[in-house]
Chains A and B, each alone.
Chain A
Amino acid sequence: MDKETKREIILDNYQNPMNKGLKDDKSYILKNTNNESCIDNIDMMLKAENGVIKDILFDGEACAICTSATSIIIRNLIGKTLEEAEKIIKNYQNMINEKEYDKELLGELLVYDDIYMQPNRKKCALLPSDAVERILEVIRNEN
């Protein structure tokens, strides 16, 4: 992906993020993530039924990288099974952390494949994946 396309995708997801705004609905599981090394602060809530992710919402104040990553993750995960979601998150985290990962799984999340060049922004990109990971863990423990 060239730099211009990446920028467009990121900016679009930052300025018009998917599913911003939370609901008061107990069928969702909610987690807050607060970036300890910077100032992003987001809440995410996820609803799963029969092993499939039905909906994900988020809210909070965060930078362009964090907000866009949250939006793209939400786009990618809705409709996936919990196992698929776990795999995507794992591979996404590997990409950000410069480990081996499967490109095929990540779709638009590949816009962050060179974010490691700005180490202070890795945490911003990882924040939504931390939240989703923790929610998936709760679901796994429930079952």
Chain B
Amino acid sequence: MNRDDFPILNSGIIYFDNGATTLKPKCVVDKMIDYYTKYTSNIHRGDYDNAMKTNEAYDEVRELVRDLINAKNISEIVYTSGTTESLNLVAFGFFKKYLKKDDEVLINKAEHASNILPWLVLQKEIGIKVKYIPLDENRELTIENIKKTITDKTKVISVAHISNVIGDIRDIEQIGKICKEKNIYFVVDAAQSISHYKIDVEKANIDFLAFSAHKMMGPTGVGILYGKKELLDKTDPLKYGGGMNQNFESNGEYVLKTAPIKFEAGTPPIAEVIGLGEAIKYIKKIGVDKIHKYELELKEYMVEELSKIPNIILYNKNSKSGILAFNVEGVFSQDTSVYLNHYNIAIRAGNHCAKVLKDDLDIKNTCRVSLCLYNTKEEIDVLIKALKNSKDIFKVVI
């Protein structure tokens, strides 16, 4: 659907790498060009017309984000450079202070590097214990296994809402409920879900939520950290400088501004924040539920068709998002992706930044198709046809 909004599609590319980054609709790009060609200026510093216009365009986005995830207040919405920075801010700005030796943080092996490494660093630095919630036979995260892994020492559960390799949708409302009952902090990585699935931070009792604009049809370079107000108040910034201080003196005294501004030192990616706002408007206009329903339909069609090809191995047939991991039997995933490039099909080959999943997946590298609303059945048919001809793979790639 909405293919006309994405000028890049005119090139004929079949873009199935949306888990890495999505394409951008023209309205998002135009909005950013407007800022660069009509009213460029810095934020919060000028009294002239363009500066005021920039302030307005920039500040308005916080409300759009708040509304998207149903946060209570715009002061709970921090602009960051992306999911990675958001999760690092959570780990090092908040938990480094509040966790103690032997406190347990529960993650799982299907998480992205950005939701594993910061915890591993804290494990080394302050002696917390990182524990992996076991995945089930479909490599999915279940409530039952979460419950089984929780102990008296569990202080944090940090999971992706949708995993970027397996594509299973975690029941965050249920997990949030458990966390509330047991007094556990709940951190959610929404990088893969934010534009495909409805999120309500209040209903799911989420303490911190992270996502990136570039995976939701917005620009690169900007993302969001949502944090409950009382937690952000206790979180320390990772960056210090202009814009985030109230006052500082040569004798060493300083006072910082309050959240979210205290986390946003320096000139932010202004055009990108404005672009993010436009992307949110775009998603809302279509409706997240409609997007998810359509993508799931596409995925089910793709699974049905690919299952008919004997030498295709599917790893996550049943997961309910638009992510499908597969391999052509006996072919290294990168060779498959080079082959598909000859059909102008863009997919991803690799371990998808989930390097510890290889322990469980008995195979290190897979091909991944990740869908977005502008993909079509016709595009999937081209993929199917190419994979049906896969005995020619080496004629093409070598």
Residues on A facing B (Cβ under 8 Å): 6-7, 10-11, 14, 38-41, 61-65, 67, 118, 120-121, 124
Contact = CB atoms under 8 A, between A and B. Distances in A.
Given A64-B332, A121-B338, A6 B365 contact: no
Given A39-B351, A39-B365, A63 B394 contact: no
A11 B333 contact: no
Nearest to B332: A63
Given A39-B349, A39-B351, A61-B364, A11 B334 contact: no
Given A38-B334, A39-B334, A40-B334, A61 B395 contact: no
A33 to B, nearest CB: 15
Given A39-B349, A61-B364, A61-B365, A6 B334 contact: no
B349 A64 contact: no
Contact of B394 (A7, A41, A121): A7
Nearest to B333: A39
B173 interface: no
B332 A62 contact: yes
A76 to B, nearest CB: 19
B394 to A, nearest CB: 5
Contacts of B364: 39, 41, 61
A64 B335 contact: yes
Given A11-B398, A61-B364, 12 more contacts: A7-B394, A7-B395, A10-B398, A38-B334, A38-B350, A40-B334, A63-B332, A63-B335, A64-B335, A67-B332, A118-B338, A121-B338
B112 to A, nearest CB: 16
Main secondary structure of the interface of A (DSSP, over half): helix
B398 to A, nearest CB: 5
A91 B395 CA distance: 27
Contact of A64 (B350, B351, B365, B397): B397
Nearest to A62: B332
Interface string B268-296: 00000000000000000000000000000
A118 B397 CA distance: 10
A64 B333 contact: no
Interface in B344-398: 349-351, 364-365, 394-395, 397-398
Contacts of A11: 394, 398
Contacts of A10: 398
Contacts of A65: 398
B385 to A, nearest CB: 22
Given A39-B350, A39-B351, A39-B365, A6 B335 contact: no
Contacts of B335: 63-64
Contacts of B350: 38-39
Interface in B51-93: none
Contacts of B394: 7, 11, 14, 64
B330 to A, nearest CB: 9
Contact of A61 (B332, B338, B397, B398): B332
Contacts of A38: 334, 350
Contacts of B333: 39
Contacts of A14: 394
29 contacts: A6-B398, A7-B398, A10-B398, A11-B394, A38-B334, A38-B350, A39-B333, A39-B334, A39-B349, A39-B350, A39-B351, A39-B364, A39-B365, A40-B334, A41-B364, A61-B332, A61-B365, A63-B332, A63-B334, A63-B338, A64-B332, A64-B335, A64-B397, A64-B398, A65-B398, A67-B332, A118-B338, A120-B338, A124-B334
A40 B332 CA distance: 9
A74 to B, nearest CB: 19
Can you list the 7 inter-chain pairs with the closest CB atoms, starting with the nearest?
Answer: A63-B334, A39-B350, A63-B332, A7-B398, A10-B398, A63-B335, A64-B335
